[in-house]
Structure 1
């Protein structure tokens, strides 16, 4: 189901033709996509720079604004940060280098992709296989992963910090494997950034306390963060100049446009202020409220993604249609997005959902279960 829509009020209310509805598929977990300061940041950057795109690779010519964004982002999260046009572009830049041993002292590691890793990661498997052996592990199966570590001198594990269909990586346990075997871990933190942690540093960094030399993160700056594009977070032992030279899209792709960079700077200011904690608390209250009213296997995980099981694909589609009739847009998921026997209705919760709307939505969900 798709259509031309106009957004109103910044609370997820949308309009298509003569119908209004609340978008329950929005990734803007903190409601920052319509934050007035972020919008003004975009406009201010455009006025100051006088150009939307540089139309030249960043390794040749770049605006001072790009350096300001990356240094501010690095300082905010106590990492080294490079921005990319998207989280998928970050995966495209980093994974072939990881396969070639770029981050593992020149030794190509066995690459183990979690079965539930995001499509933008799995898409790179054939390219990585040109450099090294690639395996797929059962979801969150650390016994499988440890067995790989015992049999191979270097192993790299590719996973989501927060999975797009719900759930998290076993971050603390993975840190134990890092200490024991030198396991390298690449996390996709597209859905975890901003919603948790000090200054919104995300689920992975909050659990780890900070990056180590055997961990990299790719992240979306377009979801909870409320800006645009993506980013690569890495530890100081990794040479950023070499990463820029050899990291595919980092050298030959366009940068985030000027409006997006301005939005990121404005969001950084919010993340560095007390406002981020207020927004995180609002999100947590809405998650708890939903969990009180709708049963799910994920109750209590504190994450904004809920996948409600459906009987089959027809049930998922009909449930989504019924909810749309009640004024709520949701996303039915089935194979190949999820396993063949696990169709569901994906719901994304946000800080700026009004309680009355959330209660009404939960009532509607229960009516279609």
Structure 2
């Protein structure tokens, strides 16, 4: 198929998307409008109260009194927003937050963005254009896009192609990686592997192994660890950093989220050498042309960072993993990700209708979760995604387990058997 007739990715997605998600919206099986909440109990605008396994705030820090108080104080002293790029004007909380994050990441360079997606959009073009002195590119970049990398990176393929070829790889498949790296070597290109640390739907990636593999050929590893931040590692540094013995290799860049386990909102990048930070802050498009995080949230991020640097973070991590282990035990390790150090579990369905029927049963039992369909998973399939938190109680987890038992009894679900 030539360039004139080749379909763009959005057209392909549109043409392959069914009405399953639309039906889920119509039946209020997803797209919930929350009127209020207390812990993991949320009351929807219709007045009904449910236990939710939807939120990615894995430690429950978004409701922590210290974060709420910090936001209130900032609102009173600075107002809601300094509507300006950081080069023109920034709240005092921004340098405070970056300094605290540098403590968490042991002296590495850190810069804060409004989202993890903005990190990708700002940092990766700098990397590909040889604008970061700590990550020199020989001849030309060659992007190796892991097939399970987050959509926020996949969608930037057209931008990446301005700096080098893009090849999709399966990072956990030695043959796929070997073939791609051989091609880069033959062309004297610098391979840059783009991956997630903990996937939003399933699985972990062997960070240390991949870092060494890329280092051996002069390549770089870029890790989006949005779902791994806070839930593990010293001071909540995250899955990827902990997998590297809390030392960032010279050939790796880490992108993290402040909007999930961290408890606040925004994103950040971690680079090995702080001397690369001025280039990021003066050249990255989202920082040069975009506004900073709204002031009360930025202040809450500072409060969250202080909690991360205290003993409290370890206590919250222990509660999260105790809840996850309890669920795995009660469900006999039958869900996707069972036994894996991820706060996400998944129930897979061979048909979209089966997934929708399961949603109805869970909702009738007072449980809300996130049902997903194509393009997040294969066309025609369905998955119910459950996100666990330190804020869930034993009663919450048993409520979910019993409800999944009803789904099984209805003949809708053939449970996955974990090999962990």
Q: Given the two structures, how large is their TM-score scaled by the length of structure 2?
A: 0.84
- Return the offset for 1:194: 0.4
Partner secondary structure for residue 259 of structure 1: helix
Of residues 117, 133, 136, the one that matches 1:105 is 136
In 1, are the aligned partners of 2:202 and 2:336 still within 8 Å (CA)? no
Tell me the equivalent position of 2:89.
61
> Whole-Å Cα distance in 2 between the matches of residues 291 and 216 of structure 1?
33
In 2, are the aligned partners of 1:195 and 1:202 still within 8 Å (CA)? yes
Partner secondary structure for residue 145 of structure 1: helix
- Return the offset for 1:260: 1.2
Partner secondary structure for residue 50 of structure 2: strand
Partner secondary structure for residue 288 of structure 2: helix
> Whole-Å Cα distance in 2 between the matches of residues 363 and 241 of structure 1?
53
Partner secondary structure for residue 280 of structure 1: helix
Distance 1:12 1:129, change over 3 A: farther
In 1, are the aligned partners of 2:348 and 2:384 still within 8 Å (CA)? yes
> Whole-Å Cα distance in 1 between the matches of residues 143 and 43 of structure 2?
42
Partner secondary structure for residue 164 of structure 2: coil
Within a 5 Å distance, the mapping from 1:115-194 to structure 2 comes to 115-138=147-170, 140-152=172-184, 153=188, 154-194=190-230
Within a 5 Å distance, the mapping from 1:81-96 to structure 2 comes to 81-96=110-125
Within a 5 Å distance, the mapping from 1:221-240 to structure 2 comes to 221-236=258-273, 239-240=276-277
Tell me the equivalent position of 1:328.
367
> Whole-Å Cα distance in 2 between the matches of residues 18 and 120 of structure 1?
34
Report Cα offsets for 1:189-216 as digits up to 9, x if no partner.
Answer: 1100000111100000000122122111
Unaligned runs of 5+ in 1: none
- Return the offset for 1:52: 2.2
- The alignment status of 1:308 with 2:347, answered yes or no, reads yes
> Whole-Å Cα distance in 2 between the matches of residues 90 and 328 of structure 1?
34
- The alignment status of 1:290 with 2:319, answered yes or no, reads no
- Runs of 4 or more above 4 Å deviation: none
- The alignment status of 1:274 with 2:311, answered yes or no, reads yes
RMSD (CA atoms): 1.6
Of residues 46, 49, 54, the one that matches 1:20 is 49
Report Cα offsets for 1:1-23 as digits up to 9, x if no partner.
Answer: 33432232223433331311111
In 2, are the aligned partners of 1:146 and 1:177 still within 8 Å (CA)? no
Tell me the equivalent position of 2:25.
none
- Return the offset for 1:117: 0.8
Larger gyration radius, structure 1 or structure 2: 2
- Return the offset for 1:116: 1.1
- Total equivalences in the alignment: 368
In 2, are the aligned partners of 1:114 and 1:140 still within 8 Å (CA)? no
In 1, are the aligned partners of 2:93 and 2:302 still within 8 Å (CA)? no
> Whole-Å Cα distance in 2 between the matches of residues 258 and 52 of structure 1?
6
In 2, are the aligned partners of 1:171 and 1:204 still within 8 Å (CA)? yes
Distance 1:12 1:123, change over 3 A: farther
- Return the offset for 1:139: 5.5
